Amino acid sequence: MPDYQAPLRDLRFVMDELLDYPAHYARLPGGEEADPEVVAAILEEGGRFAREVLAPLNLSGDQEGCRLEGGEVKAPKGFKEAYRQYVDGGWPGLAADPAHGGQGLPHSLAMALNEMIASANLAWGMYPGLSHGAADALRHHGTDDQKATYLAKLVEGVWTGTMCLTEPHCGTDLGLIKTRAVPTDGDAYEISGTKIFISAGEHDLAENIVHLVLAKLPDAPEGSRGISLFVVPKYLPDEAGRPGERNGVSCGALEHKMGIHGNATCVMNFDGARGFLVGAPHKGLACMFTMMNAARIGVGIQGLGLAETGFQNALTYARDRLQMRSLAGAKAADKPADPIIVHPDVRRMLLTQKAFAEGGRMLVLYTAQLVDVVEQGGDPAERERAETLLGLLTPIVKAFLTETGFEATNEAVQVFGGHGYIQEWGMEQLVRDARITRLYEGTTGIQALDLLGRKILTSQGETLKVFTKEIHKFCQAEQATPGMAEFVRPLAKLNAEWGELTMGVGMKAMNDREEVGAASVDYLMYAGYVTLAYLFARAVRQARAALEAGTGEAAFYRTKIATARFYFERLLPRTRGHRQAIEAGGDSLMAISADDFGLGFEP
Amino acid sequence: MPDYQAPLRDLRFVMDELLDYPAHYARLPGGEEADPEVVAAILEEGGRFAREVLAPLNLSGDQEGCRLEGGEVKAPKGFKEAYRQYVDGGWPGLAADPAHGGQGLPHSLAMALNEMIASANLAWGMYPGLSHGAADALRHHGTDDQKATYLAKLVEGVWTGTMCLTEPHCGTDLGLIKTRAVPTDGDAYEISGTKIFISAGEHDLAENIVHLVLAKLPDAPEGSRGISLFVVPKYLPDEAGRPGERNGVSCGALEHKMGIHGNATCVMNFDGARGFLVGAPHKGLACMFTMMNAARIGVGIQGLGLAETGFQNALTYARDRLQMRSLAGAKAADKPADPIIVHPDVRRMLLTQKAFAEGGRMLVLYTAQLVDVVEQGGDPAERERAETLLGLLTPIVKAFLTETGFEATNEAVQVFGGHGYIQEWGMEQLVRDARITRLYEGTTGIQALDLLGRKILTSQGETLKVFTKEIHKFCQAEQATPGMAEFVRPLAKLNAEWGELTMGVGMKAMNDREEVGAASVDYLMYAGYVTLAYLFARAVRQARAALEAGTGEAAFYRTKIATARFYFERLLPRTRGHRQAIEAGGDSLMAISADDFGLGFEP
């Protein structure tokens, strides 16, 4: 069974040293609670919970899966008890507003913990994970009454939440939804329709489930401008706010999926269920985006978390497994063969995982600071800048970290060889679990359109410039720093090229809108590689400073520099292929008619 | 449930038009039987069998899996009956020597059929699939008596075969095996030990199973020079050659795997089982390579087959699924949304699959001609050249087509969006099934070492030159052909660069052998992309010729050219990243000590 240890030392490096979280928290209104000692204690305790409570349930949860019996869903053995411990530990409300019963700690801290939860047990993490999105939507758009009724319960964790968007015929294109909401008495509506792919739609972990549901009012305009958001509880709260009458919403079936077997992915039937409008009529999509942006970053964190778990276990295996001799001569002459970590290609696979995990962690925690500023920051100018950067980075976090997370978990399998394909080792589960992250909350293709089309080109590239300027400044400042040229020079070149590529696509797109879609995924991957290069370059500067200042942990900092060097030499060159693909444009994509695509096999 | 149609038109293009199989068969001693009408009829009938008999059992076989009860393994429902039809149809002996009851048709034809079987039902295909390897080993290395006893049964298909190599502590490093063979009476040995990962080690499809087993004799030298090969039947043949006494070999457990659930992957226990030496003592590894090289190409074909099935179903889905409008304006204004095939990024994903499937098919059938020449060719010089090229291309077929097959099946899932993750659509199964192909019969890393180390550098690059010369000649001949410059120019450049990169690695490797392993996988991928570029360029020339000559199938040929253009513009640029990674060398891989790798998470 795979083991997992929270990467506390690396978290400390990224938070305390690289991104100066202590100063960040000190400046954040309300952030003063998060003093370094508190943060360290929370991360340590979270790591313990992830390792000792969640990780041991990961393989068994995958093998057991969920069961639907008489409309009730049973989560795998141990999940309920682990959730109780999670609630008892006060984890659900860590970053929630004290006004709603939360502890008011910064969101970034919760995000660091979410990495650990995803690493240890992704399927379990999806039960509380969706509650945050539901709580966010209610916090931003709910009435005072709705907040009083639902929010405190979600923050406490005794109720969980869902996001009910997708229907059988529409996922990406929510303008097509058919679920209807008909006004009845008072402020209530009757909701009817079928939703699919509802994570944690029904389960036995909490006493009530709060569904946030997209539906159409009778007078709704066509398309996505005619969607409204409703809150639909599984049990209607009674006068005392406790779960009362059973509402007309039920789980019709569980999906049989490739992975995350421990999480209940439900078909939810709404049969005249009683619901309440959240936000203005027909403005549901905007409300939904409140939930979705946080959820997208959450999914990126999942990609990172799985990369880390795969790396840790592949490393252990590579140290233990004896197979063949080093080409340079026996390294463990006393043993029948050398441990496979001596082989350069095994190291390439381990370093790929390590670089994606550590690079992803830097990106997530860099983005997490922006979330803090957007949510709690005091200075409006600073907040506006953070909002812009957060909008830019959200699709990169979501798509790049799930694409690289998938690659990393596959490399973990590859290090294990044939044993990686066997369930008991747990590596193949990571791949199956990681596979969903490239799909849900908007596929990689959707994120790429969001990044290039909606975020960058719509702003005439201004959004991007906020980020490339920051990178440019870093390069300017560090170009003469001893030892930095090796990193700064290629970074500066790529950073300038990023702008040029954007201009190039933008020009082409003025003549032909299809050019945006044609370039988008290669563009997003390019952007991801450059973004990680920037963060690795900063990590090198930090590590060099520590080494120069004298440190008792020289090996840690030297390893960080070596990892960055590997990233620059062996992974960053992939930008060359993406650049050429972007520059090639869309003609070769559009040349074949839908009919002609099948001429090789269709009679 | 996924559908599958044999790509008969594309097979005809590659075999009849691109590679001139009719002339190839006409020149092949014994190949005259394979006249175009016979070939067409066999491919058509094979396609029907794959589509109507095998494909319908693929999803159900995955869901049902195999059962071990009282030492007997039951394959999923329908597998046995399908196998009976396969035997009744005379398929097992298609390319086998008539002296052993085969039909004596060329091996290449069987390889084309194997693509269809892999496309339709990989797990089922693994039952007869291993028999070919066992038969090959006996044909090349068995005594006349062994041939008489086992070969005809394997060729007829009433018995199946296995390859028993791997043990719990060794897969790649067969020098470490512990299974023992002790001489007893006459020519018999007592075989004792445990083998794992034995595909089709035990099942109910055939009346007997012939295990080819690696074991060590009492006087065996250490390491891989001390391994011998034995034939160990499940039932010892009686006087009449029929299954008689039960031998001391049994299935101890079935592995629980990520995929190919319909195939029984067995732990096999040999408890003093009666076995017979195949080939000379201590020369088992050489005999095993006879089986392994064919098996490696077979696995490459599996990667291709899965890519094709994913592509076909993703195409159907992309034509049917309505979601969003084209960025260039509605394409299906009468419908609530456009079919997703209008979106450039969906087309990028479809074309990636199409290019890898069609490119892979060209590579397999090009390689298959070499197999024919090696096996049956008359001219010694031609045969030697074919042997050289086959040695070079085998690791590329194995590793490149499984890496790209895995990518292609993942793109198929991605086209389906969230539905791709759901079992009933069948796409996620393709990914799980494809995942093993990167591992078994030698991981991608092992193939890459074979290609760069054993095949190319050991020959001082001479092996590679045989191939690059052929490409060079093609480029020379076609550089002035109208319409070809767009393909020939980049191909010629890459072909020259391939040689330079090889020289570069070779020079570095003289100082440091680790440089071979450091470059190997990037090198193999680079080689694969260039090889497919060569074949796509040839396909373009062929298609242009057909268009110029006037054809009733202009759309087919224009689509072929468009696919090649996509490949050159959007996939071939990946060579840029691989090149840089190769040139970066191995220092960044070797810098971190095994202990320091874990400093981010190990306390």
Tens digits of residue pLDDT in A464-523: 999 999 999 999 999 999 999 999 999 999 999 999 999 999 999 999 999 999 999 999
Asked if A178 and A102 sit in the same domain, the reply is no
A349 has a pLDDT exceeding 80: yes
The answer to whether B601 contacts A439, with C-beta atoms less than 8 Å apart, is no
- Burial class of A211 by CB neighbour count within 10 A (0 to 12, 13 to 18, 19+): buried
Query: Quick one: pLDDT at residue B1?
Result: 81
pLDDT tens profile A78-135: 999 999 999 999 999 999 999 999 999 999 999 999 999 999 999 999 999 989 889 9
The answer to whether B257 contacts A514, with C-beta atoms less than 8 Å apart, is no
Query: Quick one: pLDDT at residue B557?
Result: 98
The answer to whether A596 contacts B559, with C-beta atoms less than 8 Å apart, is yes
What SS3 class is residue A114?
helix
Minimum CA–CA partner of A11 in chain B: B600
Give the pLDDT band (50/70/90) at residue B105: very high
Q: Looking at this predicted complex, what is its ipTM?
A: 0.98
Q: Shortest CA distance to A573 belongs to which of A514, A525, A502?
A: A525
DSSP label of B328: T
From the list A312, A328, A445, which residue is nearest B514 (CB)?
Answer: A328
Mean pLDDT of B451-463: 96
Asked if A199 and A219 sit in the same domain, the reply is yes
- Burial class of A33 by CB neighbour count within 10 A (0 to 12, 13 to 18, 19+): middle
Name the residue range of residue A27's domain.
Answer: 8-135
Give the pLDDT band (50/70/90) at residue A172: confident
Mean pLDDT of B327-346: 95
Question: How many distinct structural domains can be found in chain B?
Answer: 2
Asked if B303 and B432 sit in the same domain, the reply is yes
- Residue B412: its H or E element: helix B380-416
Asked if A228 and A269 sit in the same domain, the reply is yes
Q: Which residues contact B142 (CB under 8 A, 6 or more apart)?
A: B150, B151, B231, B278, B279
pLDDT tens profile A227-250: 999 999 999 999 999 999 999 999
Mean pLDDT of B22-31: 93
Query: Quick one: pLDDT at residue A286?
Result: 87
pLDDT tens profile A235-291: 999 999 999 999 999 999 999 999 999 999 999 999 999 999 999 999 998 888 878
Find out whether B371 and B268 touch, Cβ atoms under 8 Å: no
B281 has a pLDDT exceeding 80: yes
Asked if A84 and A157 sit in the same domain, the reply is no
How many beta carbons lie within 10 A of that of residue B548, not counting itself?
A: 11
Asked if A202 and A74 sit in the same domain, the reply is no
Query: Quick one: pLDDT at residue B286?
Result: 87
Residue indicated by tokens 């390019």: A526
Asked if A99 and A169 sit in the same domain, the reply is no
Residue B347 included in any domain: yes
A374 has a pLDDT exceeding 90: yes
Final residue in a domain of this structure, among B398, B424, B449: B449
Mean pLDDT of A160-180: 94
Final residue in a domain of this structure, among B449, B468, B487: B449
pLDDT tens profile A413-472: 999 999 999 999 999 999 999 999 999 999 999 999 999 999 999 999 999 999 999 999
Q: What is the DSSP track for B263-325?
A: S-EEEEEEEEEEEEEESSTTBHHHHHHHHHHHHHHHHHHHHHHHHHHHHHHHHHHHHH-B-S-
Query: Quick one: pLDDT at residue A288?
Result: 85
A560 has a pLDDT exceeding 90: yes
Query: Quick one: pLDDT at residue B456?
Result: 98
Q: What is the mean pLDDT of chain A?
A: 96
Look at the alpha carbons of A575, A577, A583, A588 in this order and tell me if their dihedral is positive or negative. negative
pLDDT tens profile A392-407: 999 999 999 999 999 9
Look at the alpha carbons of A349, A353, A358, A362 in this order and tell me if their dihedral is positive or negative. positive
Find out whether B167 and B159 touch, Cβ atoms under 8 Å: no
Q: What is the DSSP track for A2-54?
A: ------HHHHHIIIIIIS-HHHHHHHSTTGGG--HHHHHHHHHHHHHIIIIII
Q: Percentage of residues in chain A with pLDDT exceeding 90?
A: 94
Minimum CA–CA partner of A567 in chain B: B588
Helix, strand, coil share (%) of chain B residues, nearest 5: 60, 15, 25
Give the pLDDT band (50/70/90) at residue B394: very high
Chain A residues with CB under 8 Å of B411 CB are none
pLDDT tens profile B409-424: 999 999 999 999 999 9
From the list B175, B354, B577, which residue is nearest A574 (CB)?
Answer: B577
Residue B52 is a catalytic residue: no
Query: Quick one: pLDDT at residue A81?
Result: 98
State the helix-helix crossing angle for B344-376 and B284-320, rounded to 10 degrees. 150
Alpha-carbon distance of A359 to A353, in angstroms, equals 10
Residue A419 included in any domain: no
Query: Quick one: pLDDT at residue A377?
Result: 85
Q: How far is B592 from chain A (nearest CA, A)?
A: 6
How many beta carbons lie within 10 A of that of residue B301, not counting itself?
A: 33
A24 has a pLDDT exceeding 90: yes
Residue A322 included in any domain: no
Query: Quick one: pLDDT at residue B338?
Result: 97
Query: Quick one: pLDDT at residue A290?
Result: 77
Bridge partners (DSSP) of residue B268 are B195, B251
Q: Percentage of residues in chain A with pLDDT exceeding 70?
A: 100
Asked if B439 and B482 sit in the same domain, the reply is no
Largest CA distance in chain B: 82
Residue A184 included in any domain: yes
Residue B348 included in any domain: yes
- Burial class of A385 by CB neighbour count within 10 A (0 to 12, 13 to 18, 19+): middle
Asked if B427 and B362 sit in the same domain, the reply is yes
Distance of CA B220 to the CA centre of its chain: 33
For residue B382, the domain's CATH number is 1.20.140.10
Catalytic one among A441, A470, A553, A602?
A441
Give the pLDDT band (50/70/90) at residue B25: very high
Mean pLDDT of B107-134: 96
Mean pLDDT of B496-509: 98
Give the pLDDT band (50/70/90) at residue B128: very high
Residue B65 included in any domain: no
Query: Quick one: pLDDT at residue B378?
Result: 81
Chain B residues with CB under 8 Å of A579 CB are 573
- Residue B307 CA neighbour count, 13 Å, CB half: 30
B287 has a pLDDT exceeding 90: no
Alpha-carbon distance of A440 to A116, in angstroms, equals 20
Q: What is the mean pLDDT of chain B?
A: 96
Give the pLDDT band (50/70/90) at residue B12: very high
Q: Shortest CA distance to B118 belongs to which of B503, B344, B401?
A: B401
Give the pLDDT band (50/70/90) at residue A368: very high
Q: Which residues contact B583 (CB under 8 A, 6 or more apart)?
A: B501, B504
> Burial code of A165-203, b = ≥16 C-beta within 10 A, e = fewer?
bbbebbbbbbbbbebbbeeeeeebbbbbbbbbbbbbbbb
pLDDT tens profile A563-587: 999 999 999 999 999 999 999 999 9
The answer to whether B577 contacts A581, with C-beta atoms less than 8 Å apart, is no
Asked if A19 and A86 sit in the same domain, the reply is yes
Asked if A562 and A499 sit in the same domain, the reply is yes
Q: How far is A249 from chain B (nearest CA, A)?
A: 22
Residue A369 included in any domain: no
Final residue in a domain of this structure, among A286, A312, A339: A286
Residue A259 included in any domain: yes
Minimum CA–CA partner of B584 in chain A: A569
B289 has a pLDDT exceeding 90: no
Asked if A159 and A126 sit in the same domain, the reply is no
- Burial class of B328 by CB neighbour count within 10 A (0 to 12, 13 to 18, 19+): middle
A308 has a pLDDT exceeding 80: yes
Query: Quick one: pLDDT at residue B30?
Result: 82
Q: Shortest CA distance to B106 belongs to which of B29, B12, B37, B10?
A: B29
